[in-house]
Chain A
Amino acid sequence: MKELRIVWRTLQEAINSIRTGGVSNLVVVSILAVALALFGGVLQLNSSIKQISQNLDTQLEFSIYLLDSAGPQEIATEISKNPNVDKVEIITKDVAWERFRTKFQFSDVAGNPLPNTVHVNIRHPEDLQKVIAEVKKLPGIEQISYAPELFNGLERVRHILFSFGVLITLILAVGTITIVSNTIQLVIKSRSLEIEILRLVGVDDWFIRGPFIFHGIFYGLAASLLAIAPLFVLQKVVWNSFQSSFKTIMPVTFNFDSGADLGVIYIILSLTGVLVCGLSSYFTTERFIKT
């Protein structure tokens, strides 16, 4: 009971401490929120790209573009003999042209630049390379388009982005720690008489330091909440528009459920905010409240 009362009063003192912070609280929380939003943005982007590339990696589908000299029906029949192939679909150049024109509102142009296409579905993703090698031997093939090519490219981009993001995050973390410790240090200075009195009357160390540590944790919490809201909206808007345009650009079709593990990312974000701010105020009190 006594411990509970002390915790409760520590929280009350934390509120007093936050009040002492005044306008500077707003400044600190906004700066922290920007830092956390950048960090969260990196995580979100990384997770989204990963989601796409994983989707690409497990594709069971590839497309063959034919020279006009080749007959799509013969090639399709040849491919469907392969036991690893599940399904073969022919899209003639006329059908493709028709689809393209309706989608992009093209007025009639002379000629049809699109090739005859054969969509191939295989049974197991691990057989993809094998089947493609077989198909390449057939005559009349202009180009084969399959997702893992794109996958490798995307993974490379993702790694670069992620390393860059981690670097920025580390720099921001150092900045964040500096800002939080400086602010807490100012609050400690402005309450030095209170601290001195509490020390002299024998109040325990952690009741004296606790309010300032909670103050730091409050910064972390407030800033992460502030950062999460725009991140969430951004993800929804960007992802939705991306997904709809992606479908028209790519030769293959995808089914994504969501852009990323947003819940996990936001928990990581809040924990990081709370931990970084809490720890920096913890060490600030250790340094500036001497016993």
Chain B
Amino acid sequence: MIKLKNVTKQYGKIKALDDINLDIKSGEMALLVGSSGAGKSTLMKLLYREERPSSGNIIIGNIDVSSLSDAKIPYLRRRMGIVFQDFKLLPNKSAFENVAYALRGLGAEEYEIQKRVSGALKLVGLLERAFNLPSELSGGEQQRVGIARAIVQGPPLVIADEPTGNLDPATSLEIFNLLSRIAERGTTVLVSTHNQHIVESFGKRTITLDKGQVVSDIGPTTNNHNFAQLRR
């Protein structure tokens, strides 16, 4: 699903990413960890083509992201869902409208919007709160709206940069739980996090960055019972 070959990203003299090679399979869930400034956000931005690599190749599905023209960016982004640390919800729109907003811009029919948005909100467990404003929702609930928006178009890939950075540990766990359920439905999920505790308890594939380089890439551990317990 995601392939990076010798990807380097340079900001002036700073090498934010230094010769990265990665291969993330379809339907896989991978965690991206590393200290602050390690290059996690930079890597994410390269994936959704907010930035271009200084050198190297990035392939997502069958799209060559590194050589993608500006005009094709929407085409790429419709094939991925993006979740943000700061949720990026419109404060004056209900949960439902926040999820529906993009679909409207994409010209979907009204009944299809109803169907898809309800489906996404149901999946994140927020159907009853559909008509609440973001300010009437807790942080965790707001992030679930963000996730519903990311998956509403049924993308094969979801990327989330520190989706739990603003949430308490219990709520964070809940969000990770949700993301891993989404991965189980066949969606590739890439999540960056600072939360060491979650990384350990999940036993998912964990890619560690340091100073722009991949310093470890540990496959999913079989020792997964913590997480299994969590999910009941």
Q: How far is the CB of A198 from chain B (nearest CB, A)?
A: 6
- A197 close to B76 (CB less than 8 A): no
Contact with B along A1-45 (1 / 0, CB 8 A): 011011001000000000000000000000000000000000000
Chain A's interface: helix, strand, loop or mixed, by majority? helix
A257 interface residue per 8 A CB criterion: no
- A197 close to B101 (CB less than 8 A): yes
- B74 close to A5 (CB less than 8 A): no
Contact of A202 among B70, B71, B77, B88 (CB under 8 A): B77
- A203 close to B88 (CB less than 8 A): no
- B109 close to A197 (CB less than 8 A): no
A208 interface residue per 8 A CB criterion: yes
Contacts of B48 in A (CB 8 A): 200
Contacts of A208 in B (CB 8 A): 105
Q: Which residue of B lies closest to A9 (CB)?
A: B104
**Cα–Cα distance between A248 and B109 once the two chains are bound (Å):** 70
Q: How large is the interface on A (under 10, 10 to 19, 20 to 34, 35 or more residues)?
A: 20 to 34
- B109 close to A5 (CB less than 8 A): yes
- B102 close to A202 (CB less than 8 A): yes
Check A201/B90 contact, CB under 8 A, given A2-B107, A3-B107: no
**Cα–Cα distance between A208 and B74 once the two chains are bound (Å):** 11
Check A207/B82 contact, CB under 8 A, given A197-B88, A197-B90: no
- B102 close to A197 (CB less than 8 A): yes
Q: How far is the CB of B134 from chain A (nearest CB, A)?
A: 11
B52 interface residue per 8 A CB criterion: no
A291 interface residue per 8 A CB criterion: yes
- B104 close to A202 (CB less than 8 A): no
Contact of A6 among B78, B101, B107 (CB under 8 A): B107
Q: How far is the CB of A210 from chain B (nearest CB, A)?
A: 10
- B88 close to A196 (CB less than 8 A): yes
Contacts of A196 in B (CB 8 A): 88
Contact with B along A182-203 (1 / 0, CB 8 A): 0000000000011011111111
Interface size on B, residues (CB 8 A): 24
Q: How far is the CB of A232 from chain B (nearest CB, A)?
A: 41
- B78 close to A202 (CB less than 8 A): yes
Contacts of B102 in A (CB 8 A): 197-198, 201-203
Check A6/B105 contact, CB under 8 A, given A196-B88, A197-B88, A200-B82: yes
- B90 close to A204 (CB less than 8 A): no
B170 interface residue per 8 A CB criterion: no
Contacts of A9 in B (CB 8 A): 104-105, 107
- A194 close to B90 (CB less than 8 A): yes
A205 interface residue per 8 A CB criterion: yes
B14 interface residue per 8 A CB criterion: no
Contact of B82 among A5, A198, A201, A291 (CB under 8 A): A201
- A202 close to B149 (CB less than 8 A): no
- A202 close to B75 (CB less than 8 A): yes
B73 interface residue per 8 A CB criterion: yes
Contacts of B107 in A (CB 8 A): 2-3, 5-6, 9
**Cα–Cα distance between A194 and B104 once the two chains are bound (Å):** 13
Contacts of A193 in B (CB 8 A): 88, 90
- B77 close to A200 (CB less than 8 A): yes
Q: Which residue of B lies closest to A10 (CB)?
A: B105
**Cα–Cα distance between A13 and B161 once the two chains are bound (Å):** 29
**Cα–Cα distance between A194 and B101 once the two chains are bound (Å):** 9
Question: Which B residues from 51 to 75 make CB contacts under 8 A with A?
Answer: 70-71, 73-75
- A201 close to B109 (CB less than 8 A): no
Q: Which residue of B lies closest to A204 (CB)?
A: B74
Q: How far is the CB of B47 from chain A (nearest CB, A)?
A: 12
Q: Which residue of A lies closest to B73 (CB)?
A: A291
**Cα–Cα distance between A5 and B111 once the two chains are bound (Å):** 13
Contact of A291 among B70, B76, B90, B106 (CB under 8 A): B70
Between-chain CB contacts (< 8 Å), 26 pairs: A3-B107, A9-B104, A9-B105, A193-B88, A194-B90, A197-B101, A198-B101, A198-B102, A199-B73, A199-B77, A201-B77, A201-B78, A201-B81, A201-B102, A201-B105, A201-B149, A201-B153, A202-B74, A202-B76, A202-B78, A202-B106, A204-B74, A205-B71, A205-B74, A291-B70, A291-B73
Q: Which positions in A face B, CB cutoff 8 Å? A: 2-3, 5-6, 9, 193-194, 196-205, 207-208, 291
In order of increasing CB-CB distance, the 6 nearest A-B pairs are: A202-B77, A203-B105, A202-B78, A201-B102, A2-B107, A6-B107
Q: Which positions in B face A, CB cutoff 8 Å? A: 48, 70-71, 73-79, 81-82, 88, 90, 101-102, 104-109, 149, 153
